[in-house]
Structure 1
Amino acid sequence: MLNLKTITAGALGLSMLASAAFAETTIRVQSVIPSSADEIVMLKDFAEDVKALTDGEVVIEVLPAGSVVGVQETLDAVDAGLIEGGFAWTHYWSGKHPAAMLFGSPVAGAGVGIDNIAFMSWFLNAGGKELYDQLWKEMGVNVKGFMLQPVGPEALGWFKEPIETMADFRKYRFRTPPGIPGQTYKDIGVASVAMGGGDILPALEKGTIDAAEWCCPKPDSVFGFQKVLKHYYLQGLHQVVVNADLYINGDVYNGLTPLQQKAIEVAANASLMKSMAYRIRENGLALDKLVNEDGVILHDTPADYFTEYMAAANKALETNAADNAFFAEVWQSQKDFARTAVPFWAGAQTSNANLGRAYAAELAGEK
């Protein structure tokens, strides 16, 4: 005969079993940028999706830059298990393997005109994801990576005075991203200085650098570049495509259930579209404010920049492909994809671009 004590004990046992089965896994993700950045807003949205899809079983806790290790040690810390996860741009790790650039920021659209939307087509449907998974093995790190936030093209950047030619450009010490995109600026005679995002504004204020690029109107305005520089050039080649990624320690990832792993994958794929949608609106609002309220002057990039940078970028790509077999494999995959995809996509987008520029001109004429 069952009594209340027996029933209670049985219920408690079932409850403990259920708690064990649905134990929470916390993945601490250290970012390489300040918590105020738009990328962190989108990263936290991704984290909420993961939490919802796993019914609270997997919790991603976003840590600010430098909270556990230095920015440059982020990937190594994930590899070693000091933190469960990291958030950065994969081209930051080009020093570990040059092919990291082809995933994080393929210079000049990989030299074949791949934009951020076409890149997603290559990544999701033309073998890019499988090569991305192979990258970590090539690096020798115990990491599972997920692309989250594609953006592009990034702005050329901010200057004290207008630049009409590359000769004007070469007068400035210019903040650039690390790796091949930054090296390509050096190759065309620009005094390129690589530094983290949080260091750029202080460096501008101190005069360590006197021109800079970061991303796009909204992230740039959050960092406050408009406070010290007023001349803004929207078209650039150095980062036609840029992807911010999540890195999870391989042992932590393998310890998740297949359903939890699938939830992260699904949330990551959703983040690709959500972040592009977020960027277009937020950058449009930010550019309008920069020009109409903050006194920023918008310019077209000098024509000789495109020819000089493109030639140097292609040379850098060819050199790295000759020196590294995996780099050559990834770049060849991108070129094979671009052979048919880019002529279609570029041609189809021309009408949209022409309509958009006509509308922008109309708006400018009304002011």
Structure 2
Amino acid sequence: MSVLAKFGKTLAATAVAATVATAAYAAPVNIRVQSVISASADEVVMLQNFAEDVLALTKDDPVTIEVLPAGAVVANSGVLDAVDKGLVEGGFAWTHYWSGKHPAAALFGSPPAGGGIGMDNLAFLSWFQFAGGKELYDQLWTEMGVNVKGFMLQPVGPEALGWFKEPITSMADFRKYRFRTPPGIPGQAYKDIGVASVAMGGGDILPALEKGTIDAAEWCCPKPDSVFGFQKVLKHYYLQGLHQVVVNADMYINGDVYNAMTDHQKKALEVAANASLSKAMSYRIYENGKALKKLVEEDGVILHDTPADYFPAYMNAAKALLEKNADENAFFKTVYDSQKAFAEVAVPFWAGAQASNAALGKAYADSLKK
């Protein structure tokens, strides 16, 4: 072997060794993530599970995610700005919380009435992962002008219509109540159909109900709702709602912190986030089922079907708002057009398949009542 060849082999071996050493001894990364919700909430339970997955995938170059309680560094409304400025490395909320910064945030966090195009959470994930949604999601933060990297983690919907003092049999009954709703387009759609919509944070809802500031409320689903304790003050519960058929929680990391990570660390976050999307839905089905059973059988909650005239009223109002925003904002239109193009292809198939699933499930649920 020539001296030159020996030198080449030595150089190559040295490069490989250096690469391995760099991978093995990459600087640990600690990300403090301030949540906008109580540490006891299911969302934080699932966020902790995501953190455990990330750490397991990065044991040689550890990425540790430390979940901070709501208000630990800044007020909930300031979480995204705090991450942008580097006051805290990460944040956790729902994408639509930032609709004030850009209206298109609603299309990722909570497109009301399934975007008016028949999307449920599974269809949304199909769009997000395989039809260009993730690339548009990455662009959203640039459109907002914030230095963050987002990771969608937790699909939650469909959310319940909510809790009422008395049964409602029509929209006329519904309009009698001051009703807590999500912020942004979902809440505005309620206002447009004559409901006295009041936006407020999760921690303020129960005190507002107890004081009579509001008369009815929605938050999420049976498990999170029961943790909040709505059943202590209201007994009439309606599962079928349209305002958040699709709703997604996500984590944000400061862009400089993210860019300083190794490729392996970044990949671990991506893999764990994809796993979280599936695990969150699986977790919710079982936990909500157990919670609903307890609410009805032990806590005296009466389950009702949502009045039929709610559905066309809300659907039409939500779609009109989405189209209005698309007319007024170019990026919103880009995202909404992408969702509509996806829905034209995917929803006819998925709706037909889901009809069979729903009929099967309802037949079994009805048999349990006999």
Alignment of 1:74-153 (within 5 A): 74-153=79-158
- Matching residue's letter, 1:270: A
Which residue number corresponds to residue 216 of structure 2? 211
Alignment of 1:182-261 (within 5 A): 182-261=187-266
Q: How far 1:112 sits from its partner (Å)?
A: 0.4
* CA distance in structure 2 between the aligned counterparts of 1:19 and 1:246, rounded to whole angstroms: 25
> Which of 14, 28, 31 is matched with 2:32 structurally?
28
Q: How far 1:20 sits from its partner (Å)?
A: 9.5
* CA distance in structure 2 between the aligned counterparts of 1:314 and 1:46, rounded to whole angstroms: 34
Q: How far 1:24 sits from its partner (Å)?
A: 2.1
Query: Helix, strand or coil for the counterpart of 1:232?
Result: strand
Which residue number corresponds to residue 6 of structure 1? none
**Which segments of structure 1 move beyond 4 Å, counting only runs of 4 or more?**
17-20
Which residue number corresponds to residue 168 of structure 1? 173
* CA distance in structure 2 between the aligned counterparts of 1:63 and 1:184, rounded to whole angstroms: 33
* CA distance in structure 1 between the aligned counterparts of 2:365 and 2:200, rounded to whole angstroms: 34
* CA distance in structure 2 between the aligned counterparts of 1:22 and 1:134, rounded to whole angstroms: 29
- Matching residue's letter, 2:31: I
* CA distance in structure 2 between the aligned counterparts of 1:78 and 1:97, rounded to whole angstroms: 17
C-alpha deviations, 1:113-168, integer Å up to 9, x for none? Answer: 10000000000000000000000010000010000000211000000000000111
Query: Helix, strand or coil for the counterpart of 1:66?
Result: coil
* CA distance in structure 1 between the aligned counterparts of 2:157 and 2:22, rounded to whole angstroms: 46
Q: How far 1:260 sits from its partner (Å)?
A: 0.1
Query: Helix, strand or coil for the counterpart of 1:214?
Result: coil
* CA distance in structure 1 between the aligned counterparts of 2:78 and 2:258, rounded to whole angstroms: 20
Identity across matched positions, percent:
78
Which residue number corresponds to residue 8 of structure 1? none
Which residue number corresponds to residue 14 of structure 2? none
* CA distance in structure 2 between the aligned counterparts of 1:344 and 1:142, rounded to whole angstroms: 38
Structure 1, gaps ≥5 residues long? 1-16
* CA distance in structure 1 between the aligned counterparts of 2:247 and 2:159, rounded to whole angstroms: 8
Q: How far 1:23 sits from its partner (Å)?
A: 3.1
Q: How far 1:333 sits from its partner (Å)?
A: 0.3
Q: How far 1:202 sits from its partner (Å)?
A: 1.1
Q: How far 1:199 sits from its partner (Å)?
A: 1.0
* CA distance in structure 2 between the aligned counterparts of 1:20 and 1:118, rounded to whole angstroms: 39
* CA distance in structure 1 between the aligned counterparts of 2:87 and 2:255, rounded to whole angstroms: 12
Contact 2:116 2:319 (C-alpha < 8 Å) held by counterparts: yes
Single out whichever of 128-137 and 202-211 deviates more from structure 2.
Answer: 202-211
* CA distance in structure 2 between the aligned counterparts of 1:50 and 1:218, rounded to whole angstroms: 26
* CA distance in structure 2 between the aligned counterparts of 1:235 and 1:20, rounded to whole angstroms: 51
Which residue number corresponds to residue 325 of structure 1? 330
- Matching residue's letter, 2:292: L
* CA distance in structure 2 between the aligned counterparts of 1:311 and 1:125, rounded to whole angstroms: 28
- Matching residue's letter, 2:152: M
Which residue number corresponds to residue 49 of structure 2? 45
TM-score between the two structures when normalised by the length of structure 1: 0.94
Single out whichever of 110-119 and 198-207 deviates more from structure 2.
Answer: 198-207
Query: Helix, strand or coil for the counterpart of 1:260?
Result: helix
TM-score between the two structures when normalised by the length of structure 2: 0.93
Which residue number corresponds to residue 157 of structure 1? 162
Number of residues of Structure 1 aligned to a counterpart in Structure 2 = 350
Q: How far 1:21 sits from its partner (Å)?
A: 2.5
Which residue number corresponds to residue 359 of structure 1? 364
Structure 2, gaps ≥5 residues long? 1-20
